[in-house]
A = this chain, B = another copy of it.
Amino acid sequence: MSNYEENTKEIVDSFIEQMGMITQSEGLPRIAGKIIGLLLIESGPFSFSDIAARLQISRGSVSTNTRLLENLSVIERVSKLGERGDFFQMSQDPYMKLLQGSMQRMSKASQTIKEARNALPDSWQASQKRLEALEQFYTEYLKSTQKLIKTLYSKE
């Protein structure tokens, strides 16, 4: 799977780098994004050592970032009959858990704002109105994300 022509290799390498940048702009380490990119574009599973060699990164970074992605349910660790060591591949619903994590943060934020709004004196009408608008933003965003999950995961 690592034997392919030079032009394709450039496409693959470029994609992996870009995935690193995309993921970094979403708040995760660049190497995590490069691992995702590798697992997406080349059929796996990939061994721990393969990832380190292919992406030219330290084993420590592979350990840290695969663990992070595994905890986020984006990738999964598998074993292979007759082979030593761990292998990684994209998990089944790689993006659902990300969405769910996002929803949790929104839910918490919405709750915080609601509590503050309710605690304010009644005479603070303008403030309450502004807080209500922000709360509504998070509430609608939550609903929107729920629908998105439905759309993505009821089509299979």
Contacts and interface: CB of A to CB of B under 8 A. Distances in A.
A10 B125 CA distance: 18
Contacts of A41: 116, 120, 127, 130-131
Name the prevailing secondary structure of the A interface residues.
helix
A25 interface: yes
Interface residues of A, number: 39
Interface stretch (A47-55, A61-69, A77-85, A135-143): A135-143
Contacts of A152: 136-137, 140
A130 B131 CA distance: 41
A14 interface: yes
Contacts of A56: none
Count the copies: 2
B121 A8 contact: yes
A73 interface: no
A100 interface: no
Interface of A: 4, 8, 11, 14-15, 18, 22, 25-27, 40-43, 90, 95, 105, 108-109, 112, 116, 119-121, 126-127, 130-131, 134, 136-137, 140-141, 144-145, 147-148, 151-152
